């Protein structure tokens, strides 16, 4: 018979993995906000434990946390991503910031090689409402455009 296992038990395992990463993994597995994971007191199912162990092993082998959780934070947004796209880089947030702070307000925006669509999505959500901008996101992969449409809906 398996012994009971709780979140606190998993947070002390895998000492080479930062607690913040373990919280993200558990948040993803349990579909709960990170803040609620620390106070989660229910016994974890065998499936939850297996998923946690698998994702920790993947993380230790070099798989980025964003791919393990299917989420990436970009310009105050939580973007859904998968291994078909590159993880949006922090430097790209600087580009969005420069555009948003500039005196020139874009009307037509084309994002070529859109990938996750992080630039277009961040701009569309953060440009002032009085500016009507049109976005054209282009990518060679229809899979990526489906992913971007999923994030926009």
| pLDDT, tens digit only, all 153 positions of the chain | 457 899 999 999 999 999 999 999 999 999 999 889 989 999 999 999 999 999 999 999 999 999 999 999 999 999 888 888 889 999 999 999 999 998 887 788 898 888 888 998 999 899 888 878 888 888 888 777 777 767 666
Domains and their CATH numbers in the chain: 7-68 (1.10.8.10), 70-152 (3.40.50.150)
- The strand pairing partners of 137, in sequence order, are 111
The whole-number pLDDT of residue 140 equals 86
The whole-number pLDDT of residue 152 equals 66
The whole-number pLDDT of residue 143 equals 77
Question: Greatest CA separation found in the chain?
Answer: 66
- 115 close to 109: Cβ distance less than 8 angstroms: no
The whole-number pLDDT of residue 27 equals 95
């Amino acid at each position: 018979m398996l012994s009971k296992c709780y979140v606190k038990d998993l947070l002390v395992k895998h000492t080479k993995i930062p607690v913040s990463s373990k919280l993200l993994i558990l948040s993803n597995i349990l579909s709960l906000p990170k803040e609620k994971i620390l106070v989660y007191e229910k016994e974890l199912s065998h499936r939850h434990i297996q998923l946690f162990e698998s994702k920790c092993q993947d993380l230790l082998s070099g798989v980025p946390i964003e791919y393990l959780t299917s989420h990436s934070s970009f310009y105050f947004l939580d973007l859904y991503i998968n291994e078909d796209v590159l993880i949006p880089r922090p430097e790209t947030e600087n580009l969005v910031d420069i555009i948003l702070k500039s005196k020139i307000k874009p009307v037509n925006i084309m994002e070529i090689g859109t990938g996750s669509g992080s630039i277009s999505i961040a701009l569309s959500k953060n440009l002032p409402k009085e500016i009507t901008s049109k976005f054209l996101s282009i990518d060679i992969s229809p899979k990526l455009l489906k992913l971007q449409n999923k994030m926009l809906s």
